[in-house]
Amino acid sequence: MQLLAWFTQWVFSTNTNIRASHAAKQSNNVIIIGCGFSGIGLGVLLQWAGVKFVILEKAEEIGGTWWYNDYPGAAVDVKSHTYCYSFFSKRIWKDTYSFRDEILQYMRDVVLYYQLKQHIRLKVKG
Element (H, E) at 33: strand 29-33
> Is this prediction's pTM over 0.85?
no
pLDDT for residue 112: 98
How many CB atoms sit inside 10 A of residue 37's CB?
A: 20
Average pLDDT per run of 10 along the chain, which is 126 residues long?
Answer: 57 52 70 95 92 93 94 92 90 92 96 97 89
CB 77 within 8 A of CB 100: no
Q: Which phi and psi angles does 54 have, rounded to 5°?
A: -140, 145
pLDDT for residue 88: 93
Q: Rounded distance, CA 28 to CA 30, Å?
A: 7
Greatest alpha-carbon span in the chain = 49
Sort strands 120-121 and 29-33 into parallel, antiparallel or unpaired: unpaired
pLDDT for residue 24: 64
